[in-house]
Amino acid sequence: MTTDQAWIPFQPRVYRDAAARRLLRGCVYKLVRMSTDGSMGPAIGRTREEAADLARYLPAKLGLETALCASLLCDLSAQGWRLKLSPRSIEVAPPLDQGRSAEARKAQVRAAHLIERDSQLSQPSVRRFVREMERRRLHSGEWHSIFSLMRDGRDLADCLRRAAQLSVGRARLDCLLKSIDPYVEVVDPDAVCQFTGLRLLDIWRYFRHTWNTAYLSTPGRKVWVLVRDRAAPNHPVIGIGALGSAIVQLAPRDRWIG
């Protein structure tokens, strides 16, 4: 496929309307002028929001379809697709992967996921949840918040450096055990943390929001786990995980099973 053949006209039905056409072309104009570094994520999010706000001035059905098309263009741009304006249409083309390293492609995928995640974090309900988890509260005579369950990485690094300076043997092992001592805690939806009084499920959810991908609920039974460190005060969280019901239909797996 040549470079010219790669370009695909993007002319949805709403493109026939002059106002919708101006909105979409304006959206593309902003997207193609953006930097391709990690800062483009928030800019794409703002462009999506601006397009949705402008679409509200169009008739209801036309506005919804135009906002959808603008959001699709933003998603394509986030995934590394190329956009350009021709005199009569908008054109899109797949990313040019030639000469790009595997790390560069992974970075592009991560940047795209972060746009969706950051969009979720901007939702009022999620923001209220985050603020509530970060608010200090009195528990067992001490003030705690979710920050009480985050270990200072500098302290851990110092402990590990001291252990690394010891020769291999019992003394080094004892020093490592005092530096970090992980264990798994299965999350009971109704259980609370003994050190902070926070619900274990809320703790899991808070840290889940720090991942690259948005937090989406999946159907079926689930088991959530926290990985905690008993070597530090309050047994801070150093990892989370989850097990869920198998996907009902997964073609590669089903073919393998036969």
Domain span including residue 89: 3-121
In the chain, the number of structural domains is: 2
CB atoms within 10 A of CB 177: 12
Single-letter code of the amino acid located at 30: K
User: Taking 90 as the threshold, does the pLDDT of residue 25 lie above it?
Assistant: yes
User: Taking 90 as the threshold, does the pLDDT of residue 5 lie above it?
Assistant: no
| pLDDT (average), residues 182-205 | 95
- pLDDT of 119 reads 77
Boundary residue ending a domain (69, 96, 121): 121
Looking at every residue in the chain, the average pLDDT score rounds to: 88
User: 116 and 98, same structural domain?
Assistant: yes
pLDDT tens digit sequence for 212-230: 888 877 778 889 999 999 9
Which of 61-70, 172-181, 237-246, 249-258 is the least confident region? 249-258
What is d(CA 57, CA 94) in angstroms, rounded to the nearest whole number? 32
User: 70 and 32, same structural domain?
Assistant: yes
The answer to whether the CB of 114 falls within 8 A of the CB of 97 is no
CB atoms within 10 A of CB 156: 17
| pLDDT (average), residues 18-39 | 84
User: 131 and 191, same structural domain?
Assistant: yes
User: Taking 70 as the threshold, does the pLDDT of residue 37 lie above it?
Assistant: no
Q: Is residue 139 a part of any domain in this protein?
A: yes
**pLDDT over 70 percentage in the chain:** 94
User: Taking 50 as the threshold, does the pLDDT of residue 1 lie above it?
Assistant: no
What is d(CA 12, CA 20) in angstroms, rounded to the nearest whole number? 10
- pLDDT of 16 reads 93
